[in-house]
Amino acid sequence: MDIEHLKNSIRNIPDYPKPGIQFKDIPKVVSGITENCRSVVEALYSSIVNNTVPVSTTRVAEMTKLLENIHRAVNIGLVNELKIVADKMDINIFEVIEAAATKPFGFTPYYPGPGLGGHCIPIDPFYLTWKAREYGIHTRFIELAGEINTAMPVYVVQKISEALAQNGKNLQGAKVLILGVAYKKNVDDIRETPAFRIIELLQEKKAKVDYHDPYVQQLHQTRDYNFQMSSIDLSAETLAGYDLVILTTDHDVFDYDLILQNAKRIVDTRGRYRHSKTVVKA
């Protein structure tokens, strides 16, 4: 692949979902095995992004990437654990986070969810944990966060069971609709998505599970799962036909008023209905 082709490939990466942020706006950490390699890489990325951050070695660059992802994984694990505590105390964790985020320093808001997904955050922390063992180090903090995040689908299914019980239903035989299977909103990426583990757990308990995701029309075989499922159409009639609807990925294109008005019971894992008194938070 020539340099110009590589430049064009990188430029064509879609803009990030966060409004106003494009690929070119995100600084790129660069390095190389030799000083000349680093200079070439820096020259390439300088023509594509606004800022580059050269570091001394490729090991430093790799550790930088690991730190970024571990920072998020640990903080998401923290807020996921606090979500469970707040729920037991009948406290809205999203209101707590929003209030804490008004502090202009010393706090960065992270939000709970049904578990981690994507190709970086669920994997990189464990890569470092494995590598650290070669040096006789046990990364307890990182592993604990991983355990908490990995357990979130189990917690979500528990909340689903409780919500159904409030309506006099059991999980066995219940019709459950999953809203969103992508690992985050507004994308079609299903790598390491927690939605698959939730589907698996529900099916193990003999629930009848369907899904709707406008970005993922058909589920294909992955390393761990092989669901033969297609996205169903969403309508008032469709929603009313399910015993429970669970919001696992909060795509912006969802008609949240339609869902709220027609679903018999909603379990929200993303906080879209954080102010609703009737929606179950999970």
Q: Model confidence over 37-51: pLDDT tens digits? A: 999 999 999 999 999
pLDDT score for 124: 85
Percentage of the chain with pLDDT > 70?
A: 93
> What pairs with residue 264 in β-bridges?
none
**203 to each of 171, 175, 225, 240, 255, how far by Cα in Å?**
9, 11, 12, 21, 26
Q: Are residues 137 and 176 in the same domain?
A: no
- Secondary structure element (H or E) that encloses residue 209, with its range: strand 208-212
Reply yes or no on whether the pLDDT at 18 is more than 90.
no
Q: Are residues 190 and 270 in the same domain?
A: yes
Q: Are residues 166 and 145 in the same domain?
A: no
Mean pLDDT of all residues belonging to the chain: 92
17: containing domain: 7-56
Q: Confirm whether 1 is domain-assigned.
A: no
Percentage of the chain with pLDDT > 90?
A: 86
Per the annotation, the verdict on 37 as an active-site residue is no
Confidence at 14, pLDDT banded by 50, 70, 90: very low
Total domains in the fold of the chain: 3
Q: Confirm whether 111 is domain-assigned.
A: yes
> What pairs with residue 218 in β-bridges?
230
Q: Are residues 73 and 122 in the same domain?
A: yes
Report d(CA 222, CA 27) in Å as an integer. 32
Q: Are residues 45 and 83 in the same domain?
A: no
Helical H segments across 47-193, by residue range: 58-88, 93-100, 124-133, 140-150, 152-166
pLDDT score for 159: 98
Q: Are residues 213 and 140 in the same domain?
A: no
Q: Model confidence over 23-76: pLDDT tens digits? A: 899 999 999 999 999 999 999 999 999 999 999 999 999 999 999 999 999 999
Q: Are residues 74 and 37 in the same domain?
A: no
pLDDT score for 16: 47
CATH of the domain at 237: 3.40.50.720
The arithmetic mean of pLDDT across residues 99-106, rounded, is 96
Could you say which of 10, 40, 120, 151 is catalytic? 120
pLDDT score for 103: 96
CATH of the domain at 107: 1.10.1040.10
Q: Which residue has the higher pLDDT, 55 or 122?
A: 55
Confidence at 2, pLDDT banded by 50, 70, 90: low
Confidence at 4, pLDDT banded by 50, 70, 90: low
Q: Find how far residue 244's CA is from the centre of its chain.
A: 22
Q: Are residues 70 and 39 in the same domain?
A: no
Q: Model confidence over 170-229: pLDDT tens digits? A: 999 999 999 999 999 999 999 999 999 999 999 999 999 999 999 999 998 898 999 999
Q: Are residues 11 and 125 in the same domain?
A: no
Reply yes or no on whether the pLDDT at 100 is more than 50.
yes
pLDDT score for 75: 96
Q: Confirm whether 127 is domain-assigned.
A: yes
pLDDT score for 157: 98
Q: Confirm whether 209 is domain-assigned.
A: yes
Q: Are residues 78 and 170 in the same domain?
A: no
Q: Are residues 129 and 236 in the same domain?
A: no
Q: Are residues 43 and 134 in the same domain?
A: no
